[in-house]
Amino acid sequence: MPGKFIKSMSLLILLLIMSSTGYSQEIDILLKGGHVIDPANHIDAVMDVAISDGRIAKVAPDISVTGAGRVLDVKGMYVVPGLIDIHTHVFVGPNQGFANGFSCVSPDDITFKSGITTVVDAGTSGWGNFQLFKSQVIDRSQTRILAFLNIAAFGMTGFPSEENITEMDPRMTSLMISQYPKEIVGVKIGHYTGTDWTPFDRAIEAAALANVPLIVECHLPMYPLEEILCKLRPGDIYTHSFTTAVDRECILDDQLNLKPCVIQAKNKGIRFDVGHGGGMFHFNVAIPAFKQGLLPDSFGSDLHRSSMNAAMKNMLETMSKFLNIGMELQDVIYRATWNAAQSIGRDDLGNLTVGAEADIAVLSMRTGKFGFTDTRGNRLDGDRRLEAELTIRAGRIVFDNNGIAAKNWLENQALYKFKK
Amino acid sequence: MRKIKDFKRHILAVLISLPVLLLSAIASQAQDIDILLKGGHVIDPANNIDSKMDVAIKDGKILKVATSISPEQARKVIDVKGMYVVPGLIDLHVHAFHGTEPGSYIADGWDALPPDGFTFRAGVTTVVDAGSAGWRNFRKFKEQTIDRSRTRILAFLNIVGTGMYGRFEEQDVNDMNPVMTAYMINRLFPDIIVGVKSAHYWGPDFTQVDKAVEAGKLAGVPVMVDLGEHHPPLPIEELFMKHLRPGDIWTHTYANAPKDREVPVDENGRVKPFIFEAQKRGIIFDVGHGGGAFHWKQAIPAVQQGFIADVISSDLHIGSMNGGMKDMANLLSKFLNMGLPLQDVIRRATQKPAQVIGKPELGNLSPGSEADVAVFSMREGDFGFLDVRGTKMKGTRKLEAELTLRAGRIVWDLNGIGSVMWDAVTSQAR
């Protein structure tokens, strides 16, 4: 009897201990000692970040480590919301070219190692093939993928099919958006070589019907810049902003001054995205524009097969370029997170607000002698480069550059029963 | 009068144009070199070079490797002082047959990756696909990925006709056809297919390996074996000594899942003696890191005891790309920090894999070779390197790919060392 009593008592105590440890493990991951930059919440200080059940549980100085499942020392690093790349082409597939094609890049190949947790596909699909894009790529990727829907029914299918006006249907486009309000954040117009404004007007109409922004890509050579900007509504996005590409009018005049229509558009609330790409970012536009106060609202990378290994590399590299051009780090982070989220109307993203999905980038600032190139292969020298140390997507560690979340292999010998 | 004047004019013209002509003759001679990599430390194990030298490239090929090549002959001179200039790396084990075939995982599937996003930024210029495709779907692989990629893609052909369609389909012994496999290699794609792959087999014996070796004999190529999972595990000593031939390849060398597959390092941390015998016999050991096949527990004791994988490779696929593997530069750095000399590490990712796949024209900087070149810088600092268990080894050195050339063309330039300053070029059209 007493033996049984002791047994059951000890079982009870064990249960109590287990439940109390279970209770005390409110925090799954605690990022300790980092410098938090969370522009949405006006935080720019050394703070700890607690993650629980895939969400931000707390951001505060000196959160107690007791009760935390894993404590990661991120001293000397920057802890920021997972970065948002609003201009990518990720509708990968077996075709040639972009839509369902080889010219696209699977986002997971590039995102996490550069601190990105959300990408927005810039109209690689249209209402005719968005569902294929969703089942084939969006649903299979770990990166959060959102999308602008192309006004062309089947997205970026190449010339001439993507210029077929009869398939540019504002109603069908807006209907598809209403079917996928979580994924589709806007409408895109990208490629049209004619002078007819019908495609543009239909894109605006679709955006208005769906109450979403329009993003205007390059490759509309016959449309004067001033008219494009006049037609855009506040909140619409102009991408490939800093280029001298021949199929689009430059934002600078011959004296390297911002054109009046650009300043007017900026004042009206048009948003300017980088859209770096393989041929769409030039220092001789970006630097004068920066000096005259035209800063990008977001650092869209225009990720695709020919930009990834050239000057672009990844969005973090574009952020480092602007850092070395003279933008403050806090401002760089703002435009890569909260401001980018504003461009796509997603208040739930780009911040470390308690309750938000825990998408986090831990960045380190590397100092040294670096070179940054534009898409003409011209170089800007700099002394700072951002590097992704750790990336967390919905509370899960998806990239860990130096194993800051890992134990030393010898400390784990109990797991291995290893005798040296 | 007029004629005399004209004559004088002509003389003048000739006198003026002579030096111009001479100069332009010199200038055209001055373009004997397209790209000159100047001042780097060249490591070219195939040619026993390990010293400061310049590398000249012309028409996509290596023209010359020598000390102090004059920059006057070069169209473009890139200063690579303080960096290492090595042959473009060869990654012997990747899965590149990316596609969207419903139901498939690696053959035309989502788990495979188009290689260009991982190669050039890590100094790799050649990858060898490790049996993602079999004879039934190799042509699709070629059309869909190989022909469209800028990385040179070679392949081991899976002994299973449908390649790596699914772990279940890979068990079908009736779809393991040595004759068709050998035909595809010899008759159709002798330049691209370099071997046969045997992988992921569950059967209680070496049937799949034997079929692959049969195909390998018919085609005169090596076999790469990923032994798969067997309960109880099959004896690997028998595999190395009786079933495989010298030159055949064992991959996932430092994987640690002893319940599924016998491991080289025993539970006391000792390398089993027959492993050294197997290496002596000519069995090639390949890293094949992957998402589940590289454990410090195996690798560190093995390296300490002198059992070093012959070839360092990635097993690139979606499950490895963002984990402990990352890329080849990271893997080379792991071996460097385990204590291997840099020259040796480079050799195991250049000359050695080239030799293993019977492509001696790759993995070296011999004059006349296609100019596949990697330039690395050595980063010093406090680094951690993950294995697939999520445990780490600390290290102080990390290779970083500065510049990669594929067939003489710059395909990666981390810091723009091959570029001019943006404000130095004012005449460009805006």
Question: Is B423 in the A-facing interface, judged by CB distances under 8 Å?
Answer: yes
User: Mean pLDDT across the stretch B374-399?
Assistant: 97
Task: Indicate whether B2 pLDDT > 50.
Answer: no
User: Mean pLDDT across the stretch A245-262?
Assistant: 94
**CB atoms A371 and B420 under 8 Å:** no
Task: Indicate whether A137 pLDDT > 90.
Answer: yes
Residue pointed to by tokens 């990408």: A119
Per-residue tokens: B378: 């050595």
Residue A242, pLDDT score: 97
Task: Indicate whether A22 pLDDT > 90.
Answer: no
Name the helix (H) or strand (E) containing A43. strand A43-52
Residue pointed to by tokens 């290290």: B395
User: Mean pLDDT across the stretch B7-23?
Assistant: 53
**CB atoms B419 and A407 under 8 Å:** no
Q: How far apart are CA A210 and CA A186, in angstroms?
A: 8
Q: Is the C-alpha dihedral spanning A165, A170, A171, A177 positive or negative?
A: positive
Q: How far apart are CA A18 and CA A267, in angstroms?
A: 60
Cross-strand bridge partners of residue A237: A215, A271
Q: Which residue has better confidence, B28 or B342?
A: B342
Task: Indicate whether A4 pLDDT > 90.
Answer: no
**CB atoms A399 and B322 under 8 Å:** yes
User: Mean pLDDT across the stretch B278-301?
Assistant: 97
Residue B376, pLDDT score: 98
Q: From the list A94, A254, A402, which residue is nearest B99 (CB)? A: A94
Best CA proximity match to B131, nearest among B104, B152, B148, B154 = B154
Residue B17, pLDDT score: 54
Q: What is the pLDDT of residues B118-154, one digit of tens each?
A: 999 999 999 999 999 999 999 999 999 999 999 999 9
Helix count and strand count (H, E) for chain A:
11, 18
Computed over every residue of chain B, the mean pLDDT equals 93
Q: From the list B98, B383, B422, which residue is nearest A284 (CB)? A: B422
Q: How far apart are CA A188 and CA B56, in angstroms?
A: 47
**Helix, strand, coil abundance in chain B, percent, nearest 5:** 30, 30, 40
The shortest C-alpha distance from B417 to chain A (Å) reads 7
**CB atoms B384 and A404 under 8 Å:** yes
Question: Is B394 in the A-facing interface, judged by CB distances under 8 Å?
Answer: yes
Phi-psi region of A339 (alpha: psi -120 to 50; beta: other; left: phi over 0): alpha
The shortest C-alpha distance from B366 to chain A (Å) reads 26
Residue pointed to by tokens 């009046």: A260
**CB atoms B421 and A402 under 8 Å:** no
* Alpha helices in A91-167, H assignment, sequence order: 130-136
**CB atoms A400 and B110 under 8 Å:** no
Residue B425, pLDDT score: 66
CA A127: distance to chain centroid? 23
Q: Following DSSP, what letter does each residue of B302-347 receive, concatenated?
A: HHHTT---SB----BSHHHHTTT---HHHHHHHHHHTT--HHHHHH
**CB atoms B322 and A381 under 8 Å:** no
Computed over every residue of chain A, the mean pLDDT equals 93
Q: Could you report how far apart the first and last alpha carbons of chain A are, in Å?
A: 47
b/e sequence B276-308, b meaning 16+ C-beta within 10 Å: eebbeeebbbbbbbbbbbbbbbbbbbbbeeebb
Task: Indicate whether A124 pLDDT > 50.
Answer: yes
Best CA proximity match to B412, nearest among B422, B421, B403, B420 = B403
Question: Is A406 in the B-facing interface, judged by CB distances under 8 Å?
Answer: yes
Per-residue tokens: A57: 């549980």
- Taking only residues 307 to 366 of chain A, the set having a beta carbon closer than 8 angstroms to any beta carbon of chain B reads 308-309, 311, 313
Q: How far apart are CA B333 and CA B352, in angstroms?
A: 17
Most A CBs within 10 Å, among B97, B325, B392, B402, to test the A interface: B392
Q: How far apart are CA B200 and CA B216, in angstroms?
A: 18
Record the pTM. Answer: 0.92
Residue A1, pLDDT score: 43
Q: Which amino acid is at B298?
A: Q
Task: Indicate whether B397 pLDDT > 60.
Answer: yes
Q: What is the pLDDT of residues A324-367, one digit of tens each?
A: 999 999 999 999 999 999 999 999 999 999 999 999 999 999 99
- Taking only residues 111 to 140 of chain B, the set having a beta carbon closer than 8 angstroms to any beta carbon of chain A reads 113-114, 116-118, 120-121
Q: Grade residue A9 by pLDDT with cuts at 50, 70 and 90.
A: low
ipTM: 0.91
Q: What are phi and psi of B317, to 5 degrees?
A: -165, 180
Q: What is the pLDDT of residues A280-328, one digit of tens each?
A: 999 999 999 999 999 999 999 999 999 999 999 999 999 999 999 999 9
Per-residue tokens: A279: 């041929």
Residue B426, pLDDT score: 56
Q: Which residues, at least 6 apart from B236, have a Cβ–Cβ distance to it below 8 Å?
A: B227, B250, B261, B262, B264
Question: Dmax of chain A from CA atoms?
Answer: 98
CA dist B396 → A243, A253, B333, B349 (Å): 41, 50, 9, 21
Q: Following DSSP, what letter does each residue of B92-150 receive, concatenated?
A: EEE---B---TT-SSTTBTTS--THHHHGGGTEEEEEEEEEEETTTHHHHIIIIITT-S
User: Which residues of chain A lie closer than 8 angstroms to B123, CB-CB?
Assistant: none
Question: Is A380 in the B-facing interface, judged by CB distances under 8 Å?
Answer: yes
Q: What is the pLDDT of residues A30-77, one digit of tens each?
A: 999 999 999 999 999 999 999 999 999 999 999 999 989 999 999 999
Least confident of A5-19, A53-67, A195-209: A5-19
Helix count and strand count (H, E) for chain B:
12, 16
Q: Grade residue B430 by pLDDT with cuts at 50, 70 and 90.
A: very low
Q: Is the peptide bond before B232 cis (omega within 30 degrees of 0)?
A: yes
Residue pointed to by tokens 């700072």: A384
Residue A13, pLDDT score: 58
Per-residue tokens: B22: 């001479």
Q: Which amino acid is at B264?
A: P
User: Mean pLDDT across the stretch B327-353?
Assistant: 98
Q: How far apart are CA B283 and CA B165, in angstroms?
A: 28
**CB atoms A403 and B118 under 8 Å:** no
Q: Which residues, at least 6 apart from A14, have a Cβ–Cβ distance to it below 8 Å?
A: none
Cross-strand bridge partners of residue B126: B90, B152
Closest residue in chain B to residue A384, using alpha carbons only: B415
Question: Dmax of chain B from CA atoms?
Answer: 108
